[in-house]
Chain A
Amino acid sequence: MSGRMQGRPLVVLVVATCCAGPCRAAAFPLLAQNWRELSPGERYETLQNYQQHERLPEDSRRAIEKRYERWQQMSPDERERIRQNYQRLQHLSPQERDRIQRKYEKWRAQEVPSQ
């Protein structure tokens, strides 16, 4: 998905945001973000994420929705820490990200042997 997040949205961001910028509502880092408050580029990515979610099998969708419930219950500090980790992950190369994923799977297998 990282490749998808880099190409098209970039063009959309340049074309749509520059041309239609005057139409958009100002985007603020609100806790509960409203569709109308997103920029055209953010809306495009949000829609792509929605489409991706819709294409997933039911059990995968449920798993992600459960993660979201956990995310909602986290404290602001914890969320901030995770956002920073996400930024770190974003800056890694695809190979490095793959290594992190493998490391996570290995770590999880050790932590939860039954799974």
Chain B
Amino acid sequence: MSACQDFSEDLTAWVEEQLPAQRWEQLSEHVTHCPRCAAEAHSLRAAIVWQQRALQAVAALDGVDPLALKVRLRRELRAAADDKAPAWGLRAVWATTFGRFALAGAAVSVAATVLLLGVGPEMVLMPLGLEAPPPAVVQQTDFFKDYPLIERLDVLEHFDTVESVPLDDDGSASQHG
């Protein structure tokens, strides 16, 4: 278990063949004999392929800089990992395996949403936290979140009274009937 924890930190780098030769061989040896790490490595490879396809899809969109998007996604995921992962050894696992899937998922969501809805990229990047929203939204989040309610505040304040108000067309059937 402790060996898996030790190796898991470098598993992503191992899959991407970005480790020094000696460390890469150590991990190769471990993955050969550890079904759990082998399965995780397999998932990582699949996630990387998915991520690359997603980023290619995003790159095909107008107005999206794929490189900047990739950098932002990585930064967000790193921040999310720091915020949410437990403080002990699994942090690295979370930040690599889970992070890979989340990265690919976020990229796919950007591409899919922009394609499906025909909205500007900022309307996808901002909700995903990859681009800063307008300052007014940050300063008055409550206001804009409850906006539909605020818009109808006058009606809602007197809803019960208003409900009982008869309209001219309410009694038309009985008058004519």
- Interface residues in chain A, defined as those with a beta carbon under 8 Å from any beta carbon in chain B: 1, 5, 8, 11-12, 15-16, 18-25, 32-36, 38, 40-50, 52-53, 64-65, 67-68, 70-71, 82-83, 85-86, 88-89, 99-104, 106-108
Contact = CB atoms under 8 A, between A and B. Distances in A.
A interface SS class: helix
Contacts of A32: 142
Interface of B: 76-77, 80, 83, 98, 101-102, 105-106, 108-109, 112-113, 116-117, 119, 123-124, 126-129, 133-134, 136-138, 141-163, 165, 167
Contacts of A36: 129
A42 B136 CA distance: 16
Contacts of B76: 23
A53 B141 CA distance: 13
Given A68-B150, A71-B146, A104-B158, A20 B128 contact: yes
Contacts, number: 154
A22 B98 contact: yes
B150 to A, nearest CB: 5
B142 A33 contact: yes
27 contacts: A5-B148, A15-B109, A15-B116, A16-B124, A20-B105, A22-B101, A23-B128, A24-B129, A25-B83, A34-B141, A35-B138, A40-B128, A43-B126, A44-B123, A46-B147, A49-B145, A49-B148, A50-B134, A64-B147, A67-B153, A71-B146, A82-B157, A88-B159, A100-B162, A101-B155, A106-B165, A107-B161
A22 B105 contact: yes
